[in-house]
Chains A and B, each alone.
Chain A
C-alpha cells in the first residue's frame, strides 16, 4: 500500500503514511484491514511475518472491485504486485528506506537492513528489481566502490544482463523459437518491413 500510495497522490492523502518502527505505517490502512477481518474478507496469520490472505468472500468482493477499477488503476496495481512478488521483506525495506529516508526515521530495524546493505543491493540488482543507480544508493557505497564490490562478486553488466534474460521465461521461449528459425534459415529481411522510406 505504501508503494502504491507513492504512485497515487489521492491514495497518499487518504492513507497518510507515517514513520513507524518497521517503516511506514498508516492508521487508515490498519483500520481498513481490521474492518476486512471483521467482515470476513481476509484472514491475518500472525507469526514471524504477518500473512494476509483473502477468504472466499473476500475474493468475490475483490473481483467485484477489480471489475469496476479503471484500466490504468488495474495496470498500476498489477505492476506493483508483480514487482513485489519475489521480494524478501528486507529487500523491500532496503528500497523503501533508500527512496523515502523519512519513513525510516523511527525504524527499529534500519540497523539490521544497513548491516546487510551490500548483500541486499546485489540481490535486488540480480533479481532485476532496481536500476544499478538505486542499488548503489542502497549499498551506501560511491560509484567506484560499488563497481569494485560487484566485480569482487563476479558481477559485470553482461553477466547481470544474461541473468535477467534467463529469469524471463517468456523471453527464453522466444529465443528457443528463434533458435529453431535460425537453424532452418526461416529469416525475414528487415529492410522489407522497415517503417522508414
Chain B
C-alpha cells in the first residue's frame, strides 16, 4: 500500500446472541479459521456473496466460505459495524466425501 493511500476502515464485528452460542461450540482450530475471515470482512465486507433470494430482500445479507464453514453477515445497516448472523458447517458436496477415502486402511 502506498504512503498516501488511506488506511481501510475497520468495522466493529458483532455476533448475534444466537450466533455467539453456535460459535462457542466450534473446535478451536475452526474458530481460528473463522477469526481470520472475520478480520478480513471487518475491513473488506464486500468480498462475500451478496444474497439475492427474495427471502433475504432488505436484509442486506452477505455470505462467505472459509473451509467447511459458511459465515453469513450484514454490514450495510450500520456503517461502523458488521453483524454476524450465522457461522455454520456447509452441506457436503461430492468432492468433500473424497476426504474420507480409505477409511478402512
Spell out A's residues near B (CB within 8 Å).
Answer: 3, 6-11, 72-73, 75-76, 79-80, 82-83, 95, 99, 128-131, 133-134, 157-159, 161-166, 168, 170-172, 174-175, 177-179, 181-182, 186-191, 193-196
A75 to B96, CA, bound (A): 13
Binding site for A on B (CB under 8 A): 12-20, 22-24, 28, 31-32, 35, 38, 49-53, 55-56, 59, 61, 63, 70, 72, 74, 83-86, 88, 91-98, 100-105
Tell me the smallest distance from the CB of B22 to a CB of chain A, in Å.
Answer: 7
B73's nearest neighbour on chain A, judged by CB, is: A178
Pairwise interchain contact B93-A7, C-beta atoms closer than 8 A: no
A72 contact set on B, CB distance < 8 A = 100, 103
* Cβ–Cβ contact B88 & A189, under 8 A: no
* Contact status of A7 and B103, CB under 8 A, knowing A134-B95, A195-B31: yes
Q: Are A182 and B83 in contact (CB under 8 A)?
A: yes
Chain A residues whose C-beta falls within 8 Å of the C-beta of B56 in the assembled complex: 162
- A14 → chain B, closest Cβ, in Å? 10
Q: How far is it, in angstroms, between the C-alpha of A60 and the C-alpha of B74 when the chains are bound?
A: 48
Minimum distance in angstroms from A180 CB to a CB of chain B? 8
Closest 3 CB pairs of A and B: A181-B16, A178-B85, A178-B16
CA distance A129 to B96 in the complex (A): 10
B94 touches A190 (CB 8 A): no
